[in-house]
């Protein structure tokens, strides 16, 4: 092999290596871009668990919830709706509104807004002490019984035993409120 042929072959190999190096750099840049895109898309999915702390084990799937989860969630929503002052009612109800099922949204929000207007105008404060639960996980509802204590201005009203029923729907694992009604009131 003469010197010129060797030099030509070496130049071809160098040229080939430069192209491979450029292609490798382009592929690394493309992989970096795809990784950044994948990570940004994966963080757009959000799972919301209410409440933030569960005291017992709970099962949540895209089709159903365990009785423990329904009870814990019902307690959180009951606390938001029935433990308030005129200063806190709007924020409490805003949290509840985020979880109302679309089909029931207009009716429940109207009820909540009417309650808030009355609470603010009459300076009503409320406290609810939970005494028992009844759960039907197959039909996704919870009845929460307890003692409701309210005051209007400075005047305390007598405590009332009452029961509220919350209905839920499972929308791909995200819990939605379908109903939130008082079902029984005992003087």
Residue 153 lies in a domain: yes
Q: Are residues 88 and 176 in the same domain?
A: yes
Q: What is the pLDDT of residue 48?
A: 47
Residue 51 lies in a domain: no
Please give the model's pTM, rounded to 2 decimal places: 0.68
Q: How many independent structural domains does the chain possess?
A: 2
- Print the domain residue range for 127: 67-186
Residue 129 lies in a domain: yes
Q: Are residues 41 and 72 in the same domain?
A: no
Q: Are residues 76 and 144 in the same domain?
A: yes
Q: In angstroms, rounded to a whole number, what is the distance separating the alpha carbons of residues 82 and 129?
A: 9
Q: In angstroms, rounded to a whole number, what is the distance separating the alpha carbons of residues 156 and 149?
A: 8
Q: What is the pLDDT of residue 44?
A: 55
Q: Are residues 75 and 126 in the same domain?
A: yes
Q: What is the pLDDT of residue 178?
A: 95
The two tokens of residue 169 are 């729907």
The two tokens of residue 130 are 């939970």
Q: Are residues 34 and 115 in the same domain?
A: no
- Collect contacts of 149-153 with beta carbons under 8 A, ≥24 apart: 150/124, 150/125, 150/126, 151/124, 151/125, 151/126, 152/122, 152/123, 152/124, 153/122, 153/123
Place of tokens 């009131």: 185
Full pLDDT tens readout for the chain, 187 residues = 577 787 888 888 889 889 999 999 999 999 999 888 887 776 654 444 445 556 666 666 666 778 888 898 999 999 999 999 999 999 999 999 999 999 999 999 999 999 999 999 999 999 999 999 999 988 999 999 999 999 998 899 999 999 999 999 988 778 899 999 999 766 5
Q: Are residues 26 and 103 in the same domain?
A: no
Q: Are residues 174 and 103 in the same domain?
A: yes
Residue 169 lies in a domain: yes
């Amino acid at each position: 092999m003469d010197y010129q042929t060797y030099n030509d072959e070496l130049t071809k190999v160098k040229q080939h290596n430069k192209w491979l190096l450029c292609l490798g750099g382009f592929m690394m840049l493309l992989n970096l871009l795809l990784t950044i895109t994948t990570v940004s898309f994966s963080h757009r999915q959000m799972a919301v668990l209410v409440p933030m702390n569960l005291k017992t084990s709970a099962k949540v799937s895209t089709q159903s919830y365990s009785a423990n989860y329904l009870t814990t969630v019902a307690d959180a929503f009951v606390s938001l709706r029935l433990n308030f002052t005129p200063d806190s009612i709007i924020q409490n109800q805003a949290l509840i509104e985020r979880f109302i099922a679309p089909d029931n949204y207009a009716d429940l929000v109207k009820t909540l807004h009417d309650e808030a207007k009355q609470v603010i105008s009459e300076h009503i404060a409320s406290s609810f002490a939970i005494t028992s639960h009844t759960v039907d996980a197959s039909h996704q509802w919870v009845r929460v019984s307890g003692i409701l204590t309210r005051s209007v201005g400075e005047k305390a009203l007598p405590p009332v035993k009452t029961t509220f029923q919350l209905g839920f729907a499972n929308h791909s694992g995200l819990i939605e409120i379908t109903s939130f009604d008082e079902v029984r009131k005992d003087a």
